[in-house]
Amino acid sequence: MNPVLTLSPIVRTHAFTVHTRRSPEFLDITEEVERAVAACGVREGIALVFSCHTTAAVRINENEPLLLRDMEEFLKRLAPRELYYSHNDFAIRTHNLTPEECPNAHAHLQHLLLGASEAVPIQGGKLALGRWQRIFLVELDRPRERRVLVQVVGCA
C-alpha cells in the first residue's frame, strides 16, 4: 500500500470577519490566511479561502493601488449599479426579501464573474503564492462585516 494513504489528513477550518468600507473594494486578506495556515500545522496540502456571501467575492490578484482602482472601475463597467435589474424591482419581487433589503443586483452579477473562493496550494507549511499574488476579499455591495472561512486540508 502507498504509505501516503496511511497518513490521516489534517482538516482545520478557521473563520474570521473583515469590515469593508466601500464598494467595490479589494481588501488584502493574505496575512490572515497565512496565519490560519501556520496555526494548523499542515506542511503539504490545500487552503480553501471562501466568502460566505453572494455579494462579496474572493479573488487572487496583485496588490498595486492603481491596478486596484482599475479593477474597481472594471467591475463597475461590467455591471453598473444604476441600470434596471429585476432583482432590484421590489414592486414585482417576492423572494428572499428582508426588512433591510437594498438594490444590489449589480453586486450579485459582479460576484457571478468573480466567485466565492480560491484554492491555494500549501508547500513546506506556506502558501505557494507567486511573487505578486495576494488574496482579496472583494466587497461588491454596501460596506459591512463579512465572514471568510479558511479550510485547510493536508498532511503535517
Q: Which residues bind Zn ion (CB under 5 A)?
A: 104
Please say which residue, 110 or 151, places its beta carbon nearer to Zn ion.
Answer: 110
* Minimum separation from the CB atom of position 23 to Zn ion (A): 13
* Minimum separation from the CB atom of position 82 to Zn ion (A): 16
Secondary structure of the chain in HEC code, one letter for each residue: CCHHHHCCCEEEEEEEEEECCCCCEEEECHHHHHHHHHHHCCCEEEEEEEECCCCEEEEEECCCHHHHHHHHHHHHHHCCCCCCCHHHCCCCCCCCCCCCCCCCHHHHHHHHHHCCEEEEEEECCEECCCCCCEEEEEECCCCCEEEEEEEEEEEC
Please say which residue, 35 or 93, places its beta carbon nearer to Zn ion.
Answer: 93
* Minimum separation from the CB atom of position 87 to Zn ion (A): 6
Residue nearest to Zn ion (CB): 104
Please say which residue, 104 or 110, places its beta carbon nearer to Zn ion.
Answer: 104
Please say which residue, 103 or 125, places its beta carbon nearer to Zn ion.
Answer: 103
Please say which residue, 23 or 104, places its beta carbon nearer to Zn ion.
Answer: 104
Q: Strand order in 134-139's β-sheet?
A: 25-28, 134-139, 56-61
* Minimum separation from the CB atom of position 88 to Zn ion (A): 8
* Minimum separation from the CB atom of position 53 to Zn ion (A): 10
